[in-house]
Amino acid sequence: MSSFNEMDEILKDFVVETEELLEGLDEDLVALEKSPTDADLLNKVFRAFHTIKGSSSFLGFEKMTELTHKLEDLLNSLRRFELELTPSIMDAILMSVDKLKAMLEAIKQNQSIDDIDIEQEIHKLLKAQNKPSQIDTIQKDSEEKLIEEPSQPQESKELQEQVQESVIESENDIIKLQIEEIQEEPVPAKKTNLTDEELNAEIQKLLEQRIKEDKERRKAKQQNNKTQETKDTQTSKQSERIDTQTLTQSKVEEVESQKIMSNKEPQDKSKQDLDKQTIRVDVKKLDDLMDLAGELVLAKNRLVRLANIVSEQNENDDISDSLSNISSQITLVTTDLQMAIMKTRMVEIGKVFNKFPRVVRDICRDLNKEVNLVIEGAETELDKSIVEEINEPFVHLIRNAIDHGIESPSERIQKGKNKIGTLKLSASQEGNHIVISVEDDGRGMDKEKIKQKAIENGIITEQEASLMSENDIFNLVFLPGFSTANQVSSISGRGVGMDVVKTNIEKLNGIITITSQPNIGTKIIIKIPLTLAIIQSLLVKVAGSLFAIPLANVIETVRIALSDIEHVQNKDVLRLRGSIVPLVYLGDILRISQGKKTLNKDEIYVVIVSSAEKQLGLVVDALVNQEEVVIKPLGNYLGKVKSIAGATIMGDGSVALILDVVSIVKQASKLSVNIASHTADQKEFLQNALVISNKANLEEFMFIKENFAEYNILFSDNIASLYSHPSSIVFLDLSMPNAIDLINDIRELPATKKSYIVGLSEDLQSDKSRFEDTSLNALIGLNQKSNIENIKKLLNKKINPDKKGGV
C-alpha cells in the first residue's frame, strides 16, 4: 500500500521536474541558437537531457530514455565542438523536445508512452550527427579555444556529471531521486578521481567567481530597486522583498564557506535565483490556507461591524475604544496575512514569457521574418492559476503580431524601418492589477479593411460602420470567425485567435484595449486582477437583494435621470463622453424584477461595467458600499448559474451573490425591457399606500382604511410588496422586530425615498425615543388613534400643493 503511494509520489515529482526542465529547455535552446558556442549553455542543455534520461530510465519509460539518450549524444558532440549547430540540427532537437513533451503529457494522463512513435525524431537526430558540416575547421577552432583557456569549466562539468551519473545509476534509493533537484539542489559529493588538494583549489576558484558574481547581481538589483521605488507605492513592497532576497543571499554566502563547499556547483550565469531557498508545496495546501484567510477576512468584517455599532452606542467608553483598536489592528494583520498568503501563490510571469522566444523563433522561421523579442517585467508576479490561463491568449497575440503586424524584411527596408521587427512583451503591476502588453512596430491595424470585412460578413451595416469609433472598430476583431487575412495559413487567418484571447481574458475578469497607428505599430493591453480568490467589489442593491460586482469590471458609476436615457431600436442607451453605452436594469437580467417599480425617474444609478472589450451600463436601485469579498463557489449542485460567479458572506453573516459580469454583458443584448417600466408612475405613487405588519390579525389596522379611504391600500407582512406597489404613505407596525431596518430599507429604495412613513405604535412613549434618530415621519398610537387628523392635513399639503410633491 505505502510503496504504491511512494511510487505515485515519485512519478508526480518526475512529472513536475521534467516539465520544468523541458520548459527551461525551450528557452535555452533558442538562446543557444543565437550563441551556438556558449559552453555554459551547451552544458546546461546537456545536463537537462541527462537528468531526464536518468529519471525516465529509473521509472522505466524506455522510449523517453532512448530519445533523450540520442539527444544527449548529439549535445555531447556539440559541446565538444565536433559539430556545428545549424538551424536544421536545432529543428531536430526542438522536434524531439516536443516529442518529449508529448510523452510527458501522456504520462500525466496515465497513458502508456509505448505507442508514441519516435522513429522520425531519432532518424533526424542521427542524421544531424552523422553529417557534420565543416567539421574540420570547427574542431580546430574549438581546440584552439580549449588551449587558450585551460579547461577549467569543462573539467568541473565533467566532475559534476560523474557525480550526477553516480547518483542516478548507483543509487536505487527513492528519496535520493526526489532530492536530486536538477541544478538547484547541491549534489552530494561522491568519490572522484581528483585529489583533495585539486578539489579544494577547484572549489576555491569557483567560490571566488561566485562571490564576484553575487556582488554584481546585488548591485544590479539595488539599482533596480531605486528605479522601482519611484514608480509607485505598490512596488515598494516588491523592493522590500528583493532586499530580503539579497539578504538571504549574503547569509547563504557566509554559511557556504565550509559546509556546502564540497557540494558546490560550477557557476552558471543563466541561473539567477540559484540561492533562493525554496521548498515545493502542494498547491492544495496553499488553497486551504487561502480559504482559511478568507474565513478570517469574513470574521474580521463582522468584528469591524460590531465595533462600529458598539462605538456608535457608547461614545467615549473605554471598552468600545479598545474594541475599535483591536478591530483596526486585526484588520491590518488580516490584510497583511492575506497578502502574504497570496504572495506564496504568486509566480513570476517570466514562467510564461520564457516560452515565447521559442514561439517567436518558430513563427519567424515559418514566415521568413526577422523579429527581435524584447521582454520586460518578467519578474512581475501573479497568481499561479492566472499564469496558467494567460499562456494561450498570448501565443495568439504573438502570432498575430508577427503574421499580421510585422512586415517582411524587404517591406520594412522599403518603408525605411529597421529590417528586424521588434516585438515587445511587458508586464507590470498597477495596484491590484497586472497590466500586460504586446506591442509590435509593424504596419498597424487597418481600420478601413476591418470595417470593410465586417460589412462584407454582414456583422455591421455600412451605416453602423460610419458611426463607429476607432475603438469599436478595433474591437470587431474579437468576434468569432472574424479575420482580415485573405489567406488562411498555419499560423493565423481562421479568425479563431482573437476570440480565444477574448474568452480567456474574460474568464480572468480582465479588460482588453487595443491601440494602433498605421505604420507605427499595434499595442494590445490586457489588464487582469492579481488574484481570483479575494476581490474588491462594489455592493449594489436591486429589489432588496444585495449583489457584489467585481471592481475589476467596474469602469465608473454615474447618476442620471430618466430623461438622459436615449433609445436605439427601442433599446436604452446612455451617451457617455462620446461613446454609446447600452443600459439595462440589473433586476431584468437576473429576472427578479418583473412588475417591480423601484426606480426614481430623477435619480437613477448606473454602474458602467466592462468585460473584455465590451461596456454596459447596469442600472441598480442603490449603490451600497465598496468591500473586499471572498469568492465562495456555489457548489457542485448548482453548478454554473447564469449571471452569478459565486457567493460571499457579508459582515452580518448574510450571503450576497457575486455577479458574473461576462455572462451579464452577453445577455444584455437579448433583453427587451425598458428601464422606464421600472420607474414609479407619479399618479400611481400618490394613490398607493402600504401597511406593513406581521400580525396575523389585522383588525386593529382597519381604522387606516376608514381614515385614508382615498388611497389604494395594500396590507403586507414584508417590504417586498413595496417594490410592485410603490406607495407615498407607508404605515409600519413598530412592534416588528426589524422595524428600524425596514425604515432604512424603505429609504434606500429610490422610488420610496421620499415616502411618508407612519409608525404604528403600541407604546407611544417608548417608541418616540426608540425611533427618534430614524427617518420616521409620524407616529400613531394604536390605542388612542392620536395624530390621525394631523397626518391627514400634512399629507394633503405634502401631496397636493401644486401636484409637485412626493416623488
Spatial distance between the Cα atoms of 681 and 621, rounded to a whole number of angstroms: 16
Spatial distance between the Cα atoms of 454 and 460, rounded to a whole number of angstroms: 6
Instruction: Give the CA radius of gyration of the chain.
Output: 35
Spatial distance between the Cα atoms of 51 and 20, rounded to a whole number of angstroms: 12
- Between the alpha carbon of residue 400 and those of residues 21, 360, 403, 440, 445, the distances in Å are 28, 11, 5, 10, 11
Alpha carbon dihedral 220, 222, 226, 228, in 10-degree steps, equals 80
- Between the alpha carbon of residue 69 and those of residues 93, 134, 236, 538, 744, the distances in Å are 12, 25, 47, 58, 75
Q: Give the nearer residue to another protein in terms of CB position, either 36 or 651.
A: 651
Q: Give the nearer residue to another protein in terms of CB position, either 179 or 296.
A: 296
Q: How far is CA 521 from the centre of its chain?
A: 26
Phi and psi at residue 427, to the nearest 5°: -135, 140
Q: If you ran DSSP here, which 8-state letter would residue 660 be given? A: -
Give contact residues for another protein (rule: CB under 8 A): 295, 298, 545, 590-592, 632-644, 646-647, 649, 653-657
Q: Give the nearer residue to another protein in terms of CB position, either 643 or 679.
A: 643
Q: Give the nearer residue to another protein in terms of CB position, either 378 or 720.
A: 720
Minimum CB separation of residue 738 from another protein in Å reads 12
- Between the alpha carbon of residue 580 and those of residues 511, 568, 652, the distances in Å are 18, 10, 39
Minimum CB separation of residue 304 from another protein in Å reads 17
Minimum CB separation of residue 548 from another protein in Å reads 12
Minimum CB separation of residue 647 from another protein in Å reads 5
The three cell numbers of residue 503 are 474568452
Q: Give the nearer residue to another protein in terms of CB position, either 406 or 543.
A: 543
The DSSP result for 536-555, as a single string, is: EEEEEEETTEEEEEEGGGEE
Q: Give the nearer residue to another protein in terms of CB position, either 353 or 547.
A: 547
Active site positions, annotated: 50, 72, 400
The runs of H, that is alpha helices, within 509-660 are: 586-589
Q: If you ran DSSP here, which 8-state letter would residue 260 be given? A: T
> What is the Cβ-side half-sphere exposure of residue 536, based on CA atoms within 13 angstroms?
12
Minimum CB separation of residue 473 from another protein in Å reads 34
Q: Give the nearer residue to another protein in terms of CB position, either 30 or 657.
A: 657
User: CB-based contacts of 315: which residues, under 8 Å, 6+ apart?
Assistant: none
Q: Give the nearer residue to another protein in terms of CB position, either 302 or 747.
A: 302
Q: Are 74 and 86 in contact (CB under 8 A)?
A: no
Spatial distance between the Cα atoms of 773 and 743, rounded to a whole number of angstroms: 11
Spatial distance between the Cα atoms of 744 and 774, rounded to a whole number of angstroms: 8
Minimum CB separation of residue 656 from another protein in Å reads 7
Minimum CB separation of residue 22 from another protein in Å reads 32
- H-helix or E-strand spanning residue 557: strand 554-560
Q: Are 617 and 582 in contact (CB under 8 A)?
A: yes
Minimum CB separation of residue 298 from another protein in Å reads 6
Q: Are 168 and 54 in contact (CB under 8 A)?
A: yes
Q: Give the nearer residue to another protein in terms of CB position, either 87 or 653.
A: 653
- Between the alpha carbon of residue 85 and those of residues 25, 228, 616, the distances in Å are 16, 40, 55
Instruction: Please identify which residue in the block is written with the cell numbers 460590531.
Output: 306
Minimum CB separation of residue 608 from another protein in Å reads 22
Pairing of strands 371-376, 346-348: unpaired
Minimum CB separation of residue 595 from another protein in Å reads 15
Spatial distance between the Cα atoms of 480 and 478, rounded to a whole number of angstroms: 6
Q: Give the nearer residue to another protein in terms of CB position, either 102 or 641.
A: 641
Residue among 512, 27, 521, 492 at smallest CA distance from 270? 27
Minimum CB separation of residue 657 from another protein in Å reads 7
User: CB-based contacts of 387: which residues, under 8 Å, 6+ apart?
Assistant: 347, 349, 351, 352
At 515 the three-state DSSP class reads: strand
Minimum CB separation of residue 331 from another protein in Å reads 18
Q: Give the nearer residue to another protein in terms of CB position, either 171 or 291.
A: 291
Q: Are 798 and 806 in contact (CB under 8 A)?
A: yes
Q: Give the nearer residue to another protein in terms of CB position, either 175 or 641.
A: 641
Burial letters 270-293, b for 16+ CB under 10 A, else e: eeeebbeeeeeeeeeeeeebbeeb
Residue among 51, 77, 225, 202 at smallest CA distance from 139? 77
Q: Give the nearer residue to another protein in terms of CB position, either 83 or 535.
A: 535
Minimum CB separation of residue 302 from another protein in Å reads 11
Spatial distance between the Cα atoms of 573 and 467, rounded to a whole number of angstroms: 15
Length of the chain: 807
User: CB-based contacts of 752: which residues, under 8 Å, 6+ apart?
Assistant: 722, 726, 727, 730, 746
